[in-house]
């Protein structure tokens, strides 16, 4: 959109903070090669168009915005005289600098000093050659630094997760090793006891009945359900009394094992009915080996299942064997992240999953969303200092999917709430945070997924809310932070 040209006034240019240090010849060159234009309410330039001009506001109100998918997101609104926008990086070479990074419109009749991009680049190089070199170094160096530190942030998170995963894997693995060692002893004892039974005065039908009882016992152990401490204690007493009444040696040692297996005195009555009094003790001890063996195999199965689930969670979290962009269930991503972070969350924090399981799957970059969940959960855990409640809530929010992380920490002070998404801003002690976690999360949610990331906070109730579209966007955007007018 072209404005209406009006005469350029050198005296007016000299009052702008951008030009106040220029001499008369420099101001005269600006007026000669630039122009003043008046714009009626509406667009001044549009994102993606060739960046042909550098604009300085002389009067009026401008609105800067960035396109996110099909939406136009307002970045800033100002009436401050002297703010500038447009082809601000024309002095840099490369096709990326040749297009507007955002859009600008005016909401009332506004005046601008307009300098062609070529003149702006020439002026910068002629008048400020050292400054141009410094700015180039800062611009490209800043990009490289942010990219490098972002990778470092991901590596630090991966190292922390790896340590937690190793700890989580160690417990079931150690349990499986212990159970396997005990199982070997029990099987050896069972073989010995079986030899004694075979050499003893057991009738054929009694042995067959004992084998049947053994089979039923093994099935019952697999179906055993835990009892309350009071119920378990009462049953142990009843079993110990029964064993003592029938002169079974070590009855107080056998009773807890039988209770754990879900057995009771009715089961013992069946054993007693199958054999005579002289062989009852050997039969009970033989069946005890069967019960212990089944319980140990259950423990091994539980431990290896736990290991398998942890490995699956690690694969789900890392997305190493999956396409970078796919249709996913956010609950699977949340569960895998929570499992990976279980060691870091600790026992002092209660995790509440408030999921709406009716939510549809959504198109997303799951590996990157897991990074967002990790950053937000890690911040919540740090804020609570190891004690509190973390609530992960999902819901429909109009045409979007809401994922909310709620913690009971002290909250985000109002004076820094607008800065927490800035690169390198952190409230953590030196050495504990890079200040990029929320910045990276912002980029992933806003630029990569065309969603939104917001925070609401009062003491005892801080909520980071991620909203994601339910359908794929037609276009993707880069991962640079939106550029504002200066």
Q: How, if at all, do strands 84-86 and 103-106 pair?
A: unpaired
User: CA–CA distance from 181 to each of 172, 174, 175, 188, 287 (Å)?
Assistant: 14, 11, 10, 11, 20
**pLDDT given for residue 219 in this prediction:** 79
Copy the structure tokens of residue 144: 């490289």
Closest CA to 316 of 447, 165, 441: 165
Of 159-173, 280-294, 426-440, the range with the lowest mean pLDDT is: 426-440
289: CB partners within 8 A, 6+ apart: 186, 187, 189, 190, 193
pTM above 0.85, yes or no: no
pLDDT-above-90 percentage for the chain: 24
Residue 430 has pLDDT above 60, yes or no: no
Q: Between 364 and 135, whose confidence is greater?
A: 364
Q: Between 255 and 150, whose confidence is greater?
A: 255
Residue 402 has pLDDT above 90, yes or no: yes
Residue 44 has pLDDT above 70, yes or no: yes
28: CB partners within 8 A, 6+ apart: 10
Average pLDDT of the residues in 320-346: 80
For the chain, give the mean pLDDT: 78
Pick the CATH number of 4-127 from 3.30.360.10, 1.20.58.410, 3.40.630.40, 2.60.120.10: 2.60.120.10
339: CB partners within 8 A, 6+ apart: 168, 309, 310, 313, 317
The CATH architecture annotation of domain 323-469 reads 2-Layer Sandwich (3.30)
The residue ranges of every structural domain in the chain are 4-127, 162-309, 323-469
Beta pairing partners, 326: 364
Q: Rounded to an integer, what distance in angstroms lies between the CA atom of residue 134 and that of residue 142?
A: 11
Of 143-157, 284-298, 332-346, 407-421, the range with the lowest mean pLDDT is: 143-157
Residue 403 has pLDDT above 90, yes or no: yes
Average pLDDT of the residues in 218-237: 83
Model confidence at 478, in pLDDT bands (50, 70, 90)?
very low
Average pLDDT of the residues in 300-327: 67
Average pLDDT of the residues in 390-396: 95
**pLDDT given for residue 424 in this prediction:** 47
CB 39, CB 112: distance < 8 Å: yes
Q: Between 72 and 429, whose confidence is greater?
A: 72
Of 61-65, 237-241, 286-290, 430-434, the range with the lowest mean pLDDT is: 430-434
Model confidence at 319, in pLDDT bands (50, 70, 90)?
low
pLDDT single digits (tens) 57-107: 999 999 988 776 556 777 778 898 998 888 877 666 554 557 888 899 999
Residue 243 has pLDDT above 60, yes or no: yes
Model confidence at 425, in pLDDT bands (50, 70, 90)?
very low
Q: Rounded to an integer, what distance in angstroms lies between the CA atom of residue 85 and that of residue 484?
A: 8
Copy the structure tokens of residue 119: 């003149």
Q: Between 144 and 456, whose confidence is greater?
A: 456
455: CB partners within 8 A, 6+ apart: 412, 417, 420, 462, 463, 464, 465
Residue 313 has pLDDT above 70, yes or no: no
Owner of token pair 């942010």: 146
Beta pairing partners, 454: 465
CB 14, CB 27: distance < 8 Å: yes
**pLDDT given for residue 197 in this prediction:** 64
Model confidence at 198, in pLDDT bands (50, 70, 90)?
low
Q: Rounded to an integer, what distance in angstroms lies between the CA atom of residue 378 and that of residue 457?
A: 17
CB 469, CB 449: distance < 8 Å: yes
Q: Between 412 and 151, whose confidence is greater?
A: 412
């Amino acid at each position: 959109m072209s404005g209406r040209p009006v005469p350029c006034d050198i005296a007016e240019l000299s009052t702008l903070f951008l030009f106040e240090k220029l001499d008369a010849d420099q101001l005269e060159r600006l007026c000669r090669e630039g122009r003043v234009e008046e714009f009626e309410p509406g667009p001044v330039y549009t994102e993606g168009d060739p960046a042909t001009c550098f604009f300085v506001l002389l009067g009026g109100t401008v609105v800067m915005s960035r396109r996110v998918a099909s939406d136009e997101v307002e970045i800033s609104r100002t009436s401050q005289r002297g703010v500038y926008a447009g082809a601000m990086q024309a002095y840099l070479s490369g096709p990326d600098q040749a297009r507007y990074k955002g859009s600008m419109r005016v909401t009332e009749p506004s005046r601008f000093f307009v300098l062609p991009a070529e003149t702006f680049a020439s002026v910068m190089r002629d008048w400020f050659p050292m400054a141009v070199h410094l700015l180039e170094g800062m611009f490209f160096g800043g990009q490289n630094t942010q990219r490098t530190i972002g990778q470092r942030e991901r590596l630090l998170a991966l190292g922390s997760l790896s340590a937690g995963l190793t700890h989580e894997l160690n417990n079931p693995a150690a349990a499986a090793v212990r159970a396997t060692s005990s199982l070997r002893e029990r099987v050896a004892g069972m073989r010995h006891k079986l030899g004694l039974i075979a050499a003893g005065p057991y009738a054929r039908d009694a042995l067959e009945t004992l084998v049947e009882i053994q089979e039923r016992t093994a099935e019952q152990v697999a179906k055993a359900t835990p009892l309350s401490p009071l119920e378990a204690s009462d049953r142990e007493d009843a079993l110990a009394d029964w064993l003592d009444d029938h002169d079974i040696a070590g009855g107080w040692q056998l009773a807890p094992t039988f209770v754990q297996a879900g057995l009771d005195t009715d089961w013992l009555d069946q054993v007693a009915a199958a054999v005579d009094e002289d062989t009852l003790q050997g039969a009970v001890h033989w069946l005890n080996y069967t019960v212990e063996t089944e319980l140990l195999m259950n423990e091994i199965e539980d431990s290896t299942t736990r290991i398998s689930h942890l490995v699956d969670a690690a694969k789900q979290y890392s997305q190493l064997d999956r396409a970078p962009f796919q249709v996913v269930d956010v609950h699977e991503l949340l569960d895998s992240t929570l499992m990976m972070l279980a060691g870091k969350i600790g026992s002092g924090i209660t995790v509440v999953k408030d999921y709406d399981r009716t939510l549809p799957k959504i198109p997303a970059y799951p590996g990157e969303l897991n990074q967002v969940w990790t950053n937000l959960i890690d911040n919540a855990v740090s804020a609570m200092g190891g004690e509190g409640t973390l609530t992960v809530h999902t819901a429909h929010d109009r045409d979007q999917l809401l994922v909310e992380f709620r913690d009971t920490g002290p909250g985000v002070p109002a004076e820094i709430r607008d800065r927490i998404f800035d690169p390198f801003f952190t409230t953590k002690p030196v050495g504990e945070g890079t200040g990029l976690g929320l910045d990276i999360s912002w980029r992933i949610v806003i630029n990569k997924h065309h969603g939104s990331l917001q925070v609401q906070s009062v003491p005892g109730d801080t909520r980071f809310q991620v909203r994601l579209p339910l359908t794929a966007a037609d276009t993707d955007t880069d991962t640079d932070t939106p550029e504002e007018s200066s």
